Amino acid sequence: LLFVRPGQRLGHGQRTAAPPFELDDAEAILREVSGVAEVAPQSSQAMVAVYCNENWNTAVTGSDNRYFPVGNWELAQGRYFSDSELRAGKSVCVIGETVRQKLFGAQVPIGSKIRLKKISCEIIGLLKSKGQSAGGSDQDDTIVIPLRTFWRRIAGNQDVQRLRISAREGVSTARVQRDIENLMRERRRIAPGEEDDFSVMDMQEIVRTLTGTTRILTALLGAVAA
């Protein structure tokens, strides 16, 4: 899994300013980078989800059905988006297990409607629980809606904030990353010698970094205890 984001990391959650991606960028990567299996465009925003007297602050992501296989998501109940829902930007959503617990308790959420800002969104699917990510965040604390719905009803633009990319089985992610960087430099008209105005991160590299940090902290705590 690789993540492509506009701008460069500055640390502490800060990034350099850079133009967002377009939907065509996702299609170009899928078409022109041979080692890529799938590309999911997405945009996200934190907001409050409301159901009856319950509310929960969560992350709402706009994407399409490619989001689920790229992120290795499976359904516990319900279904994914239909083609017509994606094209028309319908107010439907797929939720994670944490959102279900916080808003519905033991109830079955399929067919119920939650409010996201001014949107009344029908729940059509519930994702199987995945637990915490390598970085410690709750992967199940999520709501996914069609990308066009996000654009029209929430963002008010057609920006793509991030590209999630899965590499083909057995292909070097380092090679895929290099090919993506070369293509994006060309598409974003970055001259030779100029720095990238985007970043490509390999999930394996992120996991290795976190594992190394954990080992260092464990060694330090062991030294203190000794």
> Could you identify the residue written with the tokens 């041979």?
34
pLDDT in tens, 118-129: 899 999 999 999
Place 211 in a pLDDT band, splitting at 50, 70 and 90. Answer: very low
pLDDT in tens, 150-159: 999 999 999 9
CA angle 121–50–145, rounded 5-degree value: 35
- β-bridge mates for residue 126, sequence order: 77, 95
Residues 6+ positions from 218 with CB-CB distance below 8 Å: none
Longest CA pairwise span in the chain (Å):
63
- β-bridge mates for residue 162, sequence order: 42
One-letter-per-residue 3-state SS of 145-186: EEHHHHHHHHHCCCCECEEEEEECCCCCHHHHHHHHHHHHHH
- Over 80: is that where the pLDDT of 209 sits? no
Where does residue 127 rank: exposed (0-12), middle (13-18), buried (19+ CB within 10 A)? buried
Place 148 in a pLDDT band, splitting at 50, 70 and 90. Answer: very high
The rounded percent of the chain whose pLDDT value lies above 90 is 78
pLDDT score of 207:
47
pLDDT in tens, 10-67: 766 677 888 999 999 999 999 999 999 999 999 999 999 999 999 999 999 999 999 9
